[in-house]
């Protein structure tokens, strides 16, 4: 394997043996580039110095381009151009796009026509920057023509040199991950602070104090939403505070302002942020002397249960990162603080308070709706417990024709015409489809000619008094006539007709013209329109109540406002499993058959069983389930 001539050292290169002295302009340029490379503080500076070094190492490089972007998504834009950033290298874009698409190094021969400002031929060497299976960018070099062996060496050099860009990507990822991990650790530490306290007030005070210390705030206040208003319950670094002081009222007003807008509020408002009303925050800043204020909701699910108001000096405004951290803290700490607030009461006190409240509403003045609701509920329970109604079994239902006749292909052939399809009404003898008869006609001509030929040969044999040959030829004549009769019969059956008047329930040959069919293949199924069977799918829990002769009604989805009377005729002992439950097939007949009925219509049937108490009708399924569950678990 050829040795790669890639000179990416960690410091400026020394003089080559037999080369120029260390003070030559080339050596000074290399040193300057290496200094820029080692001191680069941004990805752009790193890529520019790297590309310049790479292009100096590889001989014959005309131009180079480094494109970076969001991993796997892009867009990928130039971050470094060599030798002149002002030079247009758009002619390298197709090579970069192809390397990005194929995710591999490429050597592309290009015959230029002068559109990009250059002419002649060139080679594009492109190599994607892929780290941990994710595509971050691509490097493209335009090199002068050279032998294939040297081009492979260039690609190898670019492959090894791209390792520096992988280092850059991994370093950036490590910095981002470290910052994210730090913020996440901060959020978890803050959320864990109230978890160590048993009482709500202690947990809230510890939480806002830790938040003020961690975010370097002058004061952090916590408010709880009660009755549509925010009440301040804790202030950082304060074990006790006056709830009716002007400052606490101003903080509460700022929290109400954020609650009304259902969003975080930052004061002073950032230039690129959403427009918010900040009158209360302005007044709080005036009274407290705070230069920067941020109010963040505490949420429990979709409901705001409290708010945080953070105050800082003017020289430390709240940036986007801090606001996002506060929102994350609020989303995680909100449910915990709300749970502690609710639980920070005696159980008896909670129950007694709820009972007293409801009883006072029921017996005291006002709350007319509650009183009427209780009276209505009592009346409904009494009525349901005593009244009786018709108990009916409900089942999914489908209409099936009593007879289904198949129209089949009389012989093997091809479809010439399809004159009917599913849903068409047909009469007796109506043509449903026509089969191609060209092959049959040719077959008929063949046997006609053979019959004539055999007859002539028989006459010649008879003239020569060859009795044996005459008998053979007469047999062949009979065979030709039999084949001719068969072909004639097939020609007479090229039209597939309806066996009786009805509706086509299956079959559509309009999209299969010219398709082959086999003898006996079902082409259509026809059902009459006068007689139907009603098939009920009765749940196994209700099948014991269904008996022969019971009557009911069927409501079809096609016309649900016109129930049709039905009578149960047959119960089958075979069950089918559907949707996790067992159903038995019950057949019934229609007492009346409107002309609008069609096979396959679905609906719901109700079979009348008898009179039962309403409370039993509505609760027997649950009671039966409970009985079965108890029977299963009882010893």
pLDDT given for residue 14 in this prediction: 39
Instruction: Of 268, 292, 291, give the one whose Cα is nearest residue 278.
Output: 268
pLDDT digits (tens, 9 = 90+) for 272-317: 767 888 899 999 988 888 889 999 999 888 889 899 999 999 888 8
CA 140/CA 158 separation, integer angstroms: 9
How far apart (Å, rounded) are the C-alpha atoms in residues 415 and 232? 85
How confident is the model over 140-179, as pLDDT tens digits?
888 888 787 877 877 777 777 777 777 777 777 777 666 6
Range with the poorest average pLDDT among 52-66, 255-269, 390-404: 52-66
What dotted CATH number matches 25-175?
3.30.450.40
621 forms beta bridges with: none
Indicate the pairing of strand 219-226 with strand 303-312: antiparallel
> Looking at residue 310, what is its pLDDT?
93
- Sequence ranges of the domains in the chain: 25-175, 196-343, 351-386, 405-526, 531-633
Predicted local confidence at residue 1, as pLDDT: 28
Q: Predicted confidence band at 9 (pLDDT cuts at 50, 70, 90)?
A: very low
pLDDT of residue 315: 87
Tell which residue, 247, 193, 199, 254, has the closest CA to residue 223. 254
What per-residue confidence (pLDDT) applies to 237? Answer: 84
Q: Which residue has the higher pLDDT, 17 or 114?
A: 114
Q: Contact, 139 vs 66, CB < 8 A?
A: yes
The two domains 196-343 and 531-633 share their CATH topology (first three levels equal): no
- What is the percent of the chain with per-residue pLDDT over 70, rounded to a whole number? 91
Per-residue pLDDT, 443:
78
- Position 112 confidence tier, pLDDT thresholds 50, 70, 90: low
Mean pLDDT within 544-550: 90
Q: What pLDDT band is residue 24 in, cutting at 50, 70 and 90? A: low
Task: Give the rounded distance of the alpha carbon of 524 from its chain centre.
Answer: 40
Cβ neighbours of residue 211 under 8 Å, at least 6 residues apart? 190, 217, 220, 236, 308, 310, 329
Q: With bands split at pLDDT 50, 70 and 90, how would you rate the model's confidence at 512?
A: confident
Q: How confident is the model at residue 111 (pLDDT cuts 50, 70, 90)?
A: low
- Residue by residue, what is the 3-state secondary structure of 134-172? EEEEEEEEEECCCCHHHHHHHHHHHHHHHHHHHHHHHHH
Question: From CA 224, how far away is CA 259, in angstroms rounded?
Answer: 11
Does residue 24 or residue 385 have the better pLDDT?
385
CA distance 40 to 145: 33
Q: Which residue has the higher pLDDT, 193 or 255?
A: 255
Query: What is the C-alpha to C-alpha distance for residues 11 and 37, in angstroms, rounded to an integer?
Result: 9
Question: What's the pLDDT tens digit per position in 362-377?
Answer: 888 888 888 899 899 9
Of the listed ranges 89-103, 567-581, 582-596, the least confidently predicted one is 89-103
How far from the centroid of its chain's Cα atoms is residue 30's Cα? 54
Q: Are strands 564-578 and 431-435 parallel, antiparallel or unpaired?
A: unpaired
How far, in Å, CA of 553 to CA of 566, rounded? Answer: 6
Choice between 71 and 264, residue whose per-residue pLDDT is larger = 264
Q: Is the pLDDT of residue 224 over 80?
A: yes
With tokens 């609008």, the residue in question is: 596
Q: Sorting pLDDT into bands at 50, 70 and 90, what band is 402?
A: confident
pLDDT at 252 over 60: yes
DSSP 3-state assignment of 123? strand
pLDDT of residue 65: 81
Quote the pLDDT of residue 446: 82
- Count Cα neighbours of 193 within 13 Å in the Cβ-side half-sphere: 24
Q: Which CATH number fits domain 531-633: 3.40.50.10490, 3.40.640.10, 2.40.30.170, 3.40.50.2300?
A: 2.40.30.170
CATH topology of domain 405-526: OB fold (Dihydrolipoamide Acetyltransferase, E2P) (2.40.50)
Return the SS3 of 435: strand
Q: What is the CATH number of domain 196-343?
A: 3.30.450.40
More confident residue, 618 or 29: 618
Q: For residue 497, is pLDDT > 80?
A: no
Q: What is the pLDDT of residue 292?
A: 92
Residue 128, classified by CB atoms within 10 Å of its CB into exposed (0-12), middle (13-18) or buried (19+), is buried
d(CA 46, CA 225): 52
Check pLDDT > 70 for residue 117.
no
The β-bridge partners of 536 are 397, 586
Q: Is residue 221 very low, low, confident or very high in pLDDT (cuts 50, 70, 90)?
A: very high
> What are the start-end ranges of the E strands in 192-262?
219-226, 229-235
Nearest to 524, CA basis, from 416, 405, 411 = 405
Q: What is the pLDDT of residue 179?
A: 65
| Interval 421-452: pLDDT, tens | 777 777 787 877 777 777 777 877 888 888 78
Summarised one tens digit per residue, pLDDT across range 54-106 is: 787 777 787 888 888 778 777 887 888 887 777 777 778 788 788 778 878 77
Closest CA to 135 of 70, 56, 195: 70
Q: Could you tell me the end-to-end alpha-carbon distance of the chain, in angstroms, rounded to an integer?
A: 80
The CA radius of gyration of the chain, in Å to the nearest whole number, is 46
User: Is residue 21 pLDDT above 50, yes or no?
Assistant: no
pLDDT at 19 over 50: no
Looking at every residue in the chain, the average pLDDT score rounds to 80
Most confidently modeled range among 100-109, 459-468, 579-588: 579-588
Q: Are strands 516-517 and 532-539 parallel, antiparallel or unpaired?
A: unpaired
* Surface-to-core class of residue 227, CB atoms within 10 Å of its CB (0-12 exposed, 13-18 middle, 19+ buried): exposed
């Amino acid at each position: 394997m050829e040795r790669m001539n890639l000179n990416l050292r960690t410091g400026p290169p020394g003089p080559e043996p037999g080369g120029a002295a260390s003070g030559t302009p080339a050596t000074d340029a290399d040193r300057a580039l290496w200094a820029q490379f080692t001191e680069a503080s941004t990805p752009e500076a790193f890529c520019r110095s790297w590309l310049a070094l790479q292009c100096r190492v590889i001989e014959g490089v005309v131009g180079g381009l480094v494109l970076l972007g969001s991993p796997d998504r892009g867009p990928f834009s130039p971050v470094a151009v060599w030798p002149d950033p002002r030079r247009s290298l758009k002619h390298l874009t197709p090579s970069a796009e192809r390397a990005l698409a194929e995710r591999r190094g490429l050597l592309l021969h290009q015959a230029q026509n002068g559109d990009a400002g250059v002419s002649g031929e060139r080679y594009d060497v492109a190599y994607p920057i892929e780290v941990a299976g994710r595509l971050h960018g691509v490097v493209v070099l335009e090199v002068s023509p050279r032998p294939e062996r040297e081009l492979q060496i260039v690609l190898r050099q670019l492959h090894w040199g791209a390792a520096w860009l992988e280092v850059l990507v991994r370093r950036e990822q490590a910095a981002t991950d470290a910052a994210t991990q730090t913020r996440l650790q901060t959020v978890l530490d803050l959320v864990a602070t109230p978890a160590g306290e048993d009482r709500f007030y202690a947990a809230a005070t510890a939480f806002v104090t830790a938040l003020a210390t961690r975010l370097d705030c002058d004061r952090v206040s916590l408010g709880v939403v009660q009755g549509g208003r925010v009440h301040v319950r804790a202030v950082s670094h304060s074990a006790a505070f006056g709830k009716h002081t002007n400052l606490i009222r101003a903080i509460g007003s700022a929290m109400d302002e954020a609650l009304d807008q259902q969003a975080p509020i930052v004061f002073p408002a950032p230039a690129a942020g959403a427009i918010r009303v900040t009158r209360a925050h302005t007044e709080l800043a005036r009274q407290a002397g705070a230069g920067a204020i941020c109010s963040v909701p505490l949420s429990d699910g979709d409901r705001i249960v409290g708010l945080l108001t953070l105050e800082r000096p003017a020289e430390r405004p709240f940036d986007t990162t801090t606001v996002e951290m506060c929102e994350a803290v609020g989303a995680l700490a909100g449910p915990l603080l709300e749970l502690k607030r609710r639980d920070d009461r005696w159980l008896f006190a909670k129950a007694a308070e709820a009972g007293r409240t409801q009883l006072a509403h029921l017996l005291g003045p006002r709350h007319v709706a509650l009183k009427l609701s209780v009276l209505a509920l009592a009346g409904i329970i009494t009525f349901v417990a005593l009244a009786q109604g018709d108990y009916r079994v409900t089942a999914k239902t489908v209409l099936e024709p009593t007879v289904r006749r198949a129209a089949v292909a009389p012989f093997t052939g091809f479809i010439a015409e399809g004159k009917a399809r599913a849903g068409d009404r047909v009469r007796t003898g109506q043509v449903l489809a026509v089969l191609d008869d060209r092959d049959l006609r040719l077959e008929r001509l063949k046997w006609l000619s053979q019959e004539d030929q055999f007859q002539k040969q028989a006459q010649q044999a008879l003239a020569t008094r060859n009795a044996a040959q005459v008998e053979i030829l007469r047999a062949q004549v009979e065979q030709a006539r039999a084949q001719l009769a068969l072909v004639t019969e097939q020609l007479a059956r090229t039209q597939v007709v309806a066996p009786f008047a009805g509706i086509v329930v299956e079959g559509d040959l309009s999209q299969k013209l010219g398709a082959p069919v086999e003898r006996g293949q079902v082409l259509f199924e026809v059902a009459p329109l006068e007689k139907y069977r009603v098939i009920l799918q009765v749940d196994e829990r209700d099948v014991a109540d269904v008996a022969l002769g019971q009557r009911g009604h069927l409501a079809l989805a096609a016309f649900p406002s016109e129930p049709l009377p039905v009578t149960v005729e047959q119960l089958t002992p075979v069950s089918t499993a559907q949707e996790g439950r067992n159903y038995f097939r019950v057949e019934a007949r229609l007492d009346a058959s409107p002309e609008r009925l069609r096979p396959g219509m679905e609906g719901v049937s109700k079979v009348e069983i008898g009179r039962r108490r309403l409370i039993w009708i509505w609760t027997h399924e649950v009671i039966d389930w409970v009985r079965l569950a108890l029977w299963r678990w009882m010893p």
